Amino acid sequence: MSLPGGAPLFLGAEAVERLLPRASLLLGPLEAALGNFSRGEGGEGGVVQPLRTVVPIQKHRGFLGVMPTYSASEDALTTKLVTFYEQPSDPTVPSHQATVLLFDPSNGTLKAVSFKGLFIRQTCL
């Protein structure tokens, strides 16, 4: 899932919506992922998901949340970054914005970036 030469693939909201036109397509994979998570790190699912780290940006009344996850059964390494600003100075900027990073778990190479978290906001927040 990377471009020739190893450059990461960048997916905006439009690309995510085009590649995954119906949220219902996520139900099966989400059910499996939640089952693996419930079995824990030592279970057959092998999901490692530490508590969220939240960095306060007091000067601007905002926060940065960092949510890394590794799933051994899927051999998937991802991190979701979410910013939340209580009252953005620009009303055209959403209060929540998210970016998802997908890494190659065998060597840590960044493989894909999903940004402009429209899809994430609609389904996860």
Q: Among residues of the chain, what percentage have pLDDT more than 70?
A: 71
- C-beta neighbour count of 15 within 10 angstroms: 15
Average pLDDT, the chain: 77
Which position has the token pair 């051999």? 75
Give me the pLDDT at residue 45, please: 66
**What average pLDDT does the segment 51-68 reach?**
93
First-to-last alpha carbon distance for the chain, in angstroms, is 26
Give me the pLDDT at residue 15, please: 73
Q: What is the value of pTM for the model shown?
A: 0.69
Single-letter amino acid code for the residue at 80: K
- HSE-CB at 43 with a 13 A cutoff on CA atoms is 12
pLDDT tens figures, 1-25: 545 566 777 777 677 677 666 666 6
Give me the pLDDT at residue 108, please: 92
Highest mean pLDDT: which range of 15-24, 33-42, 73-82: 73-82
**What average pLDDT does the segment 95-119 reach?**
81
Judge contact between 93 and 116, C-beta under 8 A. Answer: no
